Structure 1
């Protein structure tokens, strides 16, 4: 079983490619986390994997919380793949402290955290996805052989980013504070459907964010009229989803 969490589609695409390459089943962490089930006895056939984006050089909180609800046999081969704009920091090392891993990989995928920086150029996006396509078959081969592999690009100042900046991000930035819809919002409701955490609702035709935001950026990137903003930083920055780029509608 491969469990994945995804906002703009990068991690979902990687998870689906690995599922095809290994014959494993998929589980959407957000959907499962929104259920009332206390735990999930997992039929893993001896292998379980996680695919998730790196959030501020750490694993998303929703993924960490989900691992606590799993019932896994000690002998199960465990792996994780983290997608990131560039560096994973200690995200996978710290994840392994909560959910022990035999193998881990990081894969560079197009940047989507536009409160901090603009999206990648079309050429950068093409290059990252092409490299991911090259790496995934190798990852699948290792998973099928249950090899212990640790291929993670931690980047510079990884300890500072994961051990100091990430806790600050989780304490002070992990909320929907600053999200709003501009006046040209059409009340289409796409943001409501796009939110994996079911954290958005329409009130009087305008989106309202509640208290379960994990800053996955799904709503802001999927708004068809670019009405959703986070403060002023995102107004002049691009929008990206994997499916839009893949379909040529980027």
Structure 2
């Protein structure tokens, strides 16, 4: 669903807040280009949006917010841009970690952190450790992440368990498979939002999004704010979620 028109009212039903919202944060480069600035400036401004949306999602009672920070395919970008993105966690957590901790936000990560520079690994791991006991919003960074890769890795792990005699063929079902995904322990994704007008998944949470509501907005990520979030949740709340069945 492409959401373009302004809704008259964003009065939200606090008893129907999506438990897990996933974002594809698109448009940083275009936002910067419109201002005759380098793409890296767009990524810098985009971190401010992560902070503001995480705090607002936490206030609303959202349990998890996953953001697509760096895909397994993003290594194809210019090396200077890749290097800058790997420096962003240091900037982000130095500015906002204290505030996130004060608001009971927990930092988590899915993906292949081991492929990042050592300094980046240390910074992210420190944030995860410092917030591990927080019980509010789980702010999950999909970092060096790919949906196909995640499914392949889960399949390999299950195959190894079967080979080792730890499980039988009959044990393999959707629940077991989900428990081998990187998102194990997180609520199902209720709502996926992609900014900047692009309408594709880009190898993001391919298993987890099977019954999510999709909203594609024209707003570029650095301009996506709390009001835009409310508008998307309002739209979500006015959908009939049937999960393959028929509402009576």
Question: TM-score, normalised on structure 1?
Answer: 0.28
| Structure with the largest fraction of helix | 2
